[in-house]
Amino acid sequence: MTVRRLVLAVAGGALLFASHPPLDQPWAGYIALIPLLLLARSCGVGGQPVRSGFGWGLVAGLVFFLPLVVWLNRFGAAAWLLLALLQSVFVGGFVAVVAAWRERTWRPLVAVAAWVGFEWLRSNVPLGGFPWGVLAYTQHGGGPVLPVARVAGALGVSAVLAAVAACLEALAVHLRRGERGRALLGPLGGAVGVVGVLLLVPPPPAPTSEVVDVAAVQGNDVDLPAFADRTDSDRIADIADRMVAVTSRLADDPSGAPQVVVWPENSLDVDPRGAPRIAAKIEQAQAFVGDAVLLAGTLLDGSQLRTFRNTIVRFGPGAEIVDVYDKRILVPFGEYVPWRSVFGGLPPLRAIPNDGVPGDRAHAFDIDGVATVGPVTCYESLFPGLVRDQVTAGAQVLVVSTNNASFGRSPASRQHLTFSQLRAVETGRWVMHAGISGISTVVDPRGGLSQRTELFEQAIVRADLPLVDAPTLYVRTGDVVGPVAAAATLAFVVGLAVAGLRSRRGSARAAS
């Protein structure tokens, strides 16, 4: 029994990993939960289904997350191992709930709700959540299930994939047992429901007749060690010089100047209002692009000592700050140190001397009446609700500004790009995914990519992005699937607890 459970746990974790970049096998996303459901069925046979299910689910989670986020090892083995362990807890919770349900009615429904509920939970807690490795992103490249994001968001896609796996697992178990007739109605009915959902998904909203000419400048930040001093003035000037040099190519572009030029996150790692040397470089770049609007990833000083704001700034003539978007979701232990009085003295965290201050509002840039551009800064693209807020604030196109240079040539950049692909499908907007060191690319509202650059090269991605005004159903309704699934899972758990309590009371009365 132990060997069988180990094989199932490893198989489930391995399939989950294989379905994401770097292996990037989308077919695995449809079946990855089958071994975990069989594992839960096996754990449900014993006298301690919750403990057994959680333990073996934790093993499956580690098999999945340890290789998925191995790029975090650049910041130390402790950070990598702790994050993988924390995320694995949610997989353990899923297997434990399904194991505790045993062979009761509606088992596939419970499995779908539990998987999506735990994905929603880990997308929100702790410290704002970490939705890396959510099942939906296995379908980033297209396919029949991806359009569901347009209606129900990423977790809606996860729900459909989980339903496919649950129906297949139930059908296989019934057939293996020689059960026919009514026993097959549930799985087959679920399969029909999935097909029905896919047939009802509408196409992306139609664009207007207008476009906006956007050029993303990939100046190429250098591949620095993880804890290098990013406040060094010479390094900051060097990156700005790189950005200016690549931007200068636009002056010779036979198409003329674009309407919007994007300098990605951390292109300017200092507040130019107090750095004349950097302000001069901004003016130099503006001379190359004429009347184009420059949107640049810039660090601005915070209102308190040793704080900063990670922003996207619209610069006007003379490097004047005309408009600002403040990043609203910051990276814990990356852009700020939670509970600094406790953890701030740890050697790895001494490299983060200042804390970022999050913004408090959605905001889109009005590009002189030509277009409304919704800025999204790096880590924010992981969170569908935040990007939805940018669209409801008026964004007709989206710009995702990123800096993944710290992760080198690892799969982190490719994994990160999958989030922009899902955000494009969810919102029905064209997305300029702009990385200072790559990957940069254009994402269409079906998740397709064009003009994709490589890591650590200098390049410009320029495209006429169609403007979209109409909202998708997801933009209208927001994240409904996740909270509903989490509430349903809680109801199932409470029901199991009540049933167990009644059973124990009944046994006590019978014994007396």
CA–CA distance, 109 with 189 (Å, rounded to integer): 12
* One domain, residues 268 and 323: yes
Residues in the chain: 512
* One domain, residues 506 and 448: no
* One domain, residues 272 and 366: yes
* One domain, residues 406 and 358: yes
Residue 54 lies in a domain: yes
E strand map for 96-224: 211-218
* One domain, residues 246 and 189: no
* One domain, residues 472 and 486: no
* One domain, residues 94 and 175: yes
* One domain, residues 470 and 490: no
Residues 349-408 have pLDDT tens digits of: 777 888 899 999 999 999 988 999 999 999 999 999 999 999 999 999 999 999 999 899
The string over 192-217, giving b where at least 16 C-beta atoms fall within 10 Å of a residue's C-beta and e elsewhere, is: eebeebeeebeebbebeeebbbbbbb
Residue 495 lies in a domain: yes
Task: Quote the mean pLDDT of the chain.
Answer: 92
* One domain, residues 484 and 387: no
Residue 115 lies in a domain: yes
* One domain, residues 250 and 350: yes
* One domain, residues 304 and 384: yes
Domain with residue 462: its CATH number is: 3.60.110.10
Q: What is the pTM of this model?
A: 0.93
Strand partners for 217: 460
Give the chain's domain count.
Answer: 2
Given a contact cutoff of 8 angstroms between Cβ atoms, the answer to whether 147 and 165 are in contact is no
Nearest Cα to Cα of residue 20 among 132, 156, 144:
132
Q: pLDDT-derived band of residue 105, with 50, 70 and 90 as boundaries?
A: confident
Domain that holds residue 301: 211-476
Residue 456 lies in a domain: yes
Q: Look at residue 223 in the predicted model and tell me its pLDDT.
A: 67
Residue 359 lies in a domain: yes
Residue 189 lies in a domain: yes
Residue 355 lies in a domain: yes
What is the average pLDDT across 492-500? 81
* One domain, residues 258 and 393: yes
* C-alpha separations of 177 from 165, 170, 172, 180, 257 in Å: 18, 11, 9, 9, 69
Residue 206 lies in a domain: no
Q: Look at residue 341 in the predicted model and tell me its pLDDT.
A: 75
Nearest Cα to Cα of residue 387 among 359, 362, 366, 404:
362
Given a contact cutoff of 8 angstroms between Cβ atoms, the answer to whether 334 and 367 are in contact is no
Residues 142-191 have pLDDT tens digits of: 989 999 999 999 999 999 999 999 999 988 887 788 776 655 666 666 66
